[in-house]
Amino acid sequence: MDFDLIAKSLPDMLKGVAITLELLVLSLIIGACLCAVVVPLRLSRHRILWMPTYAYIFFFRGTPLLIQLYLIYYGLGQFHDFWESIGLWFIFKDGFWPAIITFSLNTAAYTSEILRGAILGLPHGEIEAAKACGMSRLLLLRRIILPKTARLVLPAYSNEVIQMMLSTSLASLVTIYDLMGVTKQFFNRTYAVYTLYPTAGFMYLLMMLGLTWLFRSIEFRLSAHLRDRPSAAAATGEPLPALTPTLR
């Protein structure tokens, strides 16, 4: 371990962390928007709608993310004249937007399968009851389907987000200086394997723990109605047992 090198590389590495988080957050937001389109299509009864959607999901879940990234960065980037002619060449000039596009498409494919499973798993009676109450489709979605699915998918989605965060490191292979890219750059200059990679690894680990904590607290907030109510002890001023998030 070379602590001088850590101190020297830390500012750049933190900038790399910022890029990593930027890649992650942008991909997740775009991915979520895509999900809003993909999930209804996937659940549709019309073959023309669900079959292409299924093909898309099958492709993105069945091939390595790295291949998808290369396919979009090198593959689509190959049609330089076409992109130039419609004024979109700037997208493929460096790896940033191809990476965002790939990660978004990838996470949307995985997330929509998670969502589909959860929506199909909703108790039929609840939806019937809501319909019987005269709820419109939109109100049904907003009041019954979405809140229930949100709780159901959260554990699986948090895994997906963590996987995605780790996968953003692949962007370093298409010219992006995210945490992995910055680390590799320092490594190429100094060859300090035992200092640089463990430091970067520790940062990724911290990000993973941070995301885990974040999702656990969201889950905690969303499940207030499932916990025991504070007992009468609260009224008498006795100390309550701490309500801490627990893993189920």
Residues that bind other proteins (CB under 8 A): 58-59, 62-68, 70-71, 74-79, 162, 166-167, 169-170, 172-173, 180, 183-184, 187, 191, 193-194, 197-198, 200-201, 204-209
Burial class (CB in 10 A: 0-12, 13-18, 19+), 164: buried
Closer of 60 and 144 to other proteins (Cβ)? 60
Q: What does the alpha-carbon distance between residue 67 and residue 212 come to, in Å, rounded to a whole number?
A: 28
Residue among 27, 29, 8 at smallest CA distance from 19: 27
Nearest distance in Å: CB 196, other proteins: 9
Residue among 33, 23, 66, 60 at smallest CA distance from 207: 23
Closer of 64 and 123 to other proteins (Cβ)? 64
Q: Which residues contact 223 (CB under 8 A, 6 or more apart)?
A: 151
Contact 24, 165 (CB under 8 A): yes
Nearest distance in Å: CB 165, other proteins: 9
Alpha carbon 77 to its chain's center: 25
Nearest distance in Å: CB 129, other proteins: 30
Nearest distance in Å: CB 162, other proteins: 7
Nearest distance in Å: CB 34, other proteins: 19
Closer of 11 and 198 to other proteins (Cβ)? 198
Closer of 62 and 239 to other proteins (Cβ)? 62
Closer of 144 and 172 to other proteins (Cβ)? 172
